Structure 1
Amino acid sequence: MTAESALSPTPTPAERAEAGRNARTRVSRADQARFDPGPGRFDPVDVIERQSATRVQDLVPIRYGRMLESPFRFYRGAAAIMAADLGPAPHSGLTVQLCGDAHLLNFRLLASPERRLVFDINDFDETLAGPFEWDVKRLAASFVIASRANEFPADVQKATAREAARSYRERMREFAGMRTLDIWYALDEADQLRKLMASEMDKEERRRTARATAKARSRTQMEAFEKLTRTTPEGRRITPDPPLITPLADVAADSPEAGTEKELAAVVESYAETLSSERRHLLSHFRMVDLARKVVGVGSVGTRCWIMLLLGRDDEDPLLLQAKEAQTSVLAPYTGGEPYDNQGRRVVSGQRLIQTTSDIFLGWTHVTGLDGQGRDFYVRQLRDWKGIARPETMGPDMLRLFAQVCGASLARAHARSGDPVAIAAYLGGGERFEHALAEFAQAYADQNERDFEALGEAVRSGRVTARTML
């Protein structure tokens, strides 16, 4: 931002609210319910295959195998499909930094640098600026799909989606009345959320929630270190578990794109340049001793992901980093947004903008493999106080409460990067928006099931190959 732009007149709150209400002429709140793909809709398997073409080919069947475990698993891997559905459709034009893949499992407990347990968005692979409702729709649909997996009736399915949208709307209206710095400093502490939710939970739900919070605090670097490494004659090294965890030497023997140990060690050096000076200093106290390729997630399977073991004072002083390939966001064809010279930088910039507190080792880099192809990566700690929800264990009331928490958290993320006054004015004080989103979520859950079946048929016909990992 230049000095001139920083000092130029900004719209008044009244003008910003008017802009939000005017956005209803582009797409009304009731029209947010619409999802009508029509007979000319694209082939969803084509979309997935185009993504897979840029990935490690021997891992792609694992991706398909994971997506075919359930419609919800499929949805987690189908962000590109939903982007292709939402992108060409009318939208509000009210722009925020999107998560890009805001399904319910991408909201979780995380550690702040001050060692406080907070609830926030965790995945930013697809982050990009775009219309706020794209994230809300993906979140709402994920709750309908999770409700169906639990065999909840249609009214409960709609209620969870409606709760996510209602919570988003109400919290955004709170942010519209707050000072700018107060919005930036807002966070959702896990213990405070648990206390707020406790009055609506039964004894067993309170017990499970307390246990999940305690478990998140136990998921430290040391816990990951003990689980993922072993003692060898050369010292601590990463434990192989192919094909999910494959040592560098074994990957390099089969794949020219892997790079040499020297080249991958250079990744750490170049990545360090993207850290602030005090964090570079901290990183300098560690030396890298081992690398391995790791298969992660569902939608991310096939992207290149490395875990790096660094040691400090001795073999019991570890730092585990994950370098994950960053490809072009699935939203990019539909936003016309600012291009990035490094997709890892895009991920890190988006994360820093919308996440309350980010990993102190978050950074990015670029590496060229032996195949001559340059690839972008972002780097972060492998595990640090992370706790993930288990919707399959939740009853209807608990899933509704979780929808409330996720919707509010998403509103906080959007308020940091967008205009909460304009978005709140668009949403209004009534329930029209959340009812529309519930209708959309039901319709999109139906489409997700059809797409899930299409991938299954593609596997049965031999068009694509799936591999199930036991």
Structure 2
Amino acid sequence: MTPAKFSTGRVQVDKTVSELRAMGKAARAKVSFEDLGRFQPTGRDSRPMMDQVRRMLIPELLPERTRRMGASPFAFFRGTAELMEADLDTQLNTGILTFTCGDAHIGNFGFYASPERRLLFDLNDFDEAGIAPWEWDLKRLLVSVVLAGRANGFKEKKLKECLPEVANSYRKSIKKMFDQTTLDRFYPLNDVEKLVQASALDQDNYQLLMNIINHANKRDSEQVVRKFTTLDQRGGLCFRENAPRTTHVSDDFTQNVSAYFGAYRATLRPDVNLLLSQYHITDVVRHSVGVGSFGSRCYLILLTAIDGSHLVLQVKEALPTRRRGSQRSTRLTAAFEQTEGQRIVDSQKILQSASDSFLGYFSGKQRSFYVRQFRDMKESVDLTQLDWDQFQTYARTCAWTLAIAHAQSPTAAMIRGYIGGGGKTLDAQLANFAFAYADQVAADYTAFCDYRLSDQDQPVTTN
């Protein structure tokens, strides 16, 4: 079954949880655990799909994006969601569709503040979010654990022992979610205090978590202002240049930022909209971030309040998902892209236990964007600094959190039915798939490194 068209308003389930679980259990007869564990290479050429994505990006930023992706197979994996999307689409799947992150690799989880200023841990990237088979997210997470673990130099034997435990963490979390009522599943609130209690962390892991919390608590808009801004020749506050990553530009967004800011405000709650009426725009800069999204149109807006305090918002281009953006031969049009910001924002609100109060979207003349607060109590884990015990604990925590996100979908009881009784067999089969696909990533990465210095740093002709 192929992914359904994205829609939140049309989702309606007229089955009971028991009936849905029975449907999920019946799906095992059509697609077995062994089927999920089998990866069949497609023989596809990665270049056309990667080039289709690159056509949507800013040409002058492509060399830096290429450099970042070339750092390791894991970095390459982070920057090429389109390849795994295409490959998964050719494999057998359970047919159980749910709201998915679409890019649930181990680097796309992190800490951030709830509207009540509580520190949460959750998924934090939804550019590829939409509706797809639930296992696609879990498979991407498991493959990323293999690649990140290899990048850290962990032994293959340890990774092979760890990976089934990561899958097991997902299964346990799904089961736990369905020990609760529908309303209780809606209010998971993945706050760090609960995370500490649930994980029973040892002293080393607890200290790692406390260091992250302390660092996150120091991150607010005023800290961003101190780090990213300077005074211009007339003494006014402005963003500091750091080309090509951070630079002032003149384009459709910067020329129409006031109008677009007003359109964005209209998508917010009335109280947040009223709050923003007390701010004015002080400066705008293009600020590129990430690996796969590096090269997309991404900006920072510096806002100054009537009391002189500041707020920094991040505006990101809402590109079509890699599925549509990389595999369609037709030219991407403004009409096609203009709903993408709403897709990302709606998915984030569904999949996260709580979301940024400033999360909103708007459509430009040709492109769609979404907006969020920049770096407010946000912190990610530096995977390269984790020892083995910390790494495997973190991987299991990500799987546990992913299951909580999936449990928000009306069809999640079918997942519960499918995995019920799967035990070690399902865990082992999913691990088998992850190792097989990690080898595919390694092959794609080698091919990428072979041609990137010639082809990849050259502009891609736009259709």
Q: TM over 0.5, yes or no?
A: yes
In structure 2, what residue type is equivalent to 1:242?
Answer: A
Structure 1 segment 449-468 matched on structure 2, within 5 A: 449-460=442-453, 462-465=454-457
DSSP 3-state at the match of 1:114: coil
Say whether 1:304 aligns with 2:288: no
Distance 2:73 2:420 in 1: 33
CA contact under 8 A between 1:237 and 1:290: conserved in structure 2?
yes
TM-score when normalising by structure 2: 0.91
Which of the numbers 402, 412, 416 marks the counterpart of 2:404?
A: 412
Q: What percent identity do the matched residue pairs reach?
A: 35
CA contact under 8 A between 1:129 and 1:335: conserved in structure 2?
no
How far 1:341 sits from its partner (Å)? 4.9
CA contact under 8 A between 1:164 and 1:404: conserved in structure 2?
yes
In structure 2, the residue matched to 1:255 is none
In structure 1, the residue matched to 2:158 is 156
Distance 2:140 2:162 in 1: 13
Say whether 1:321 aligns with 2:313: yes
Distance 2:208 2:375 in 1: 22
CA contact under 8 A between 1:285 and 1:312: conserved in structure 2?
yes
Structure 1 segment 271-420 matched on structure 2, within 5 A: 271-315=264-308, 317-332=309-324, 341-368=338-365, 374-420=366-412
Distance 1:58 1:318 in 2: 31
Distance 1:262 1:225 in 2: 22
CA 1:195–1:310 in structure 2 vs 1: closer, same or farther (change >3 Å)? same
How far 1:335 sits from its partner (Å)? 12
How far 1:261 sits from its partner (Å)? 4.1
Distance 2:56 2:254 in 1: 23
In structure 2, the residue matched to 1:53 is 55
After superposition, the C-alpha distances for 1:125-165 in whole angstroms (9 at most, x for unaligned) are 01011100000000011001111112222222123322221
CA contact under 8 A between 2:111 and 2:119: conserved in structure 1?
yes
In structure 2, the residue matched to 1:25 is 29
CA contact under 8 A between 1:323 and 1:380: conserved in structure 2?
yes
In structure 2, the residue matched to 1:14 is 18
Distance 1:245 1:303 in 2: 13
In structure 2, what residue type is equivalent to 1:227?
Answer: K
Distance 1:284 1:446 in 2: 52
In structure 2, the residue matched to 1:242 is 243
Distance 2:10 2:292 in 1: 43
CA contact under 8 A between 1:238 and 1:291: conserved in structure 2?
yes
Distance 1:124 1:44 in 2: 23
CA contact under 8 A between 2:264 and 2:360: conserved in structure 1?
yes
Structure 1 segment 37-186 matched on structure 2, within 5 A: 37-38=41-42, 41-186=43-188
How far 1:193 sits from its partner (Å)? 1.6
How far 1:46 sits from its partner (Å)? 2.2
CA contact under 8 A between 1:109 and 1:386: conserved in structure 2?
yes
After superposition, the C-alpha distances for 1:317-376 in whole angstroms (9 at most, x for unaligned) are 11101110011112348999xx885110110011111111111111111112xxxxx010
Distance 2:290 2:9 in 1: 43
Distance 1:176 1:108 in 2: 25
DSSP 3-state at the match of 2:455: coil
User: What are structure 1's unaligned runs of at least 5 residues?
Assistant: 253-257, 369-373
Stretch deviating more after TM superposition (183-192 or 344-353) = 183-192
User: What are structure 2's unaligned runs of at least 5 residues?
Assistant: 1-6, 329-335
CA 1:97–1:237 in structure 2 vs 1: closer, same or farther (change >3 Å)? same
CA contact under 8 A between 2:24 and 2:417: conserved in structure 1?
yes
In structure 2, what residue type is equivalent to 1:34?
Answer: R
CA contact under 8 A between 1:340 and 1:346: conserved in structure 2?
no
CA 1:5–1:446 in structure 2 vs 1: closer, same or farther (change >3 Å)? closer
Distance 2:186 2:144 in 1: 27
Distance 2:339 2:220 in 1: 30
Distance 1:432 1:261 in 2: 54
Stretch deviating more after TM superposition (125-134 or 153-162) = 153-162
CA contact under 8 A between 1:102 and 1:138: conserved in structure 2?
yes
Distance 2:11 2:341 in 1: 28
CA 1:91–1:447 in structure 2 vs 1: closer, same or farther (change >3 Å)? same
In structure 2, the residue matched to 1:371 is none
CA contact under 8 A between 1:364 and 1:378: conserved in structure 2?
yes
How far 1:387 sits from its partner (Å)? 1.4
How far 1:404 sits from its partner (Å)? 1.3
Stretch deviating more after TM superposition (87-96 or 116-125) = 87-96
After superposition, the C-alpha distances for 1:11-42 in whole angstroms (9 at most, x for unaligned) are 2332111100121133211211111214xx22
CA contact under 8 A between 1:64 and 1:466: conserved in structure 2?
no
Task: Please report the RMSD computed on the Cα atoms of aligned residues, expressed in angstroms.
Answer: 2.4
After superposition, the C-alpha distances for 1:176-197 in whole angstroms (9 at most, x for unaligned) are 2321110000122112323443
Distance 1:310 1:121 in 2: 27
Say whether 1:35 aligns with 2:32: no
After superposition, the C-alpha distances for 1:259-310 in whole angstroms (9 at most, x for unaligned) are 2744122110111111121111111111001101011100001110111111
CA 1:389–1:217 in structure 2 vs 1: closer, same or farther (change >3 Å)? same
Say how many residue pairs are matched: 444
TM-score when normalising by structure 1: 0.89
Distance 1:99 1:12 in 2: 25
In structure 2, the residue matched to 1:219 is 219
Distance 1:363 1:378 in 2: 6
How far 1:438 sits from its partner (Å)? 0.8
CA 1:3–1:101 in structure 2 vs 1: closer, same or farther (change >3 Å)? closer
DSSP 3-state at the match of 1:59: helix
CA 1:71–1:178 in structure 2 vs 1: closer, same or farther (change >3 Å)? same
Distance 2:14 2:290 in 1: 42
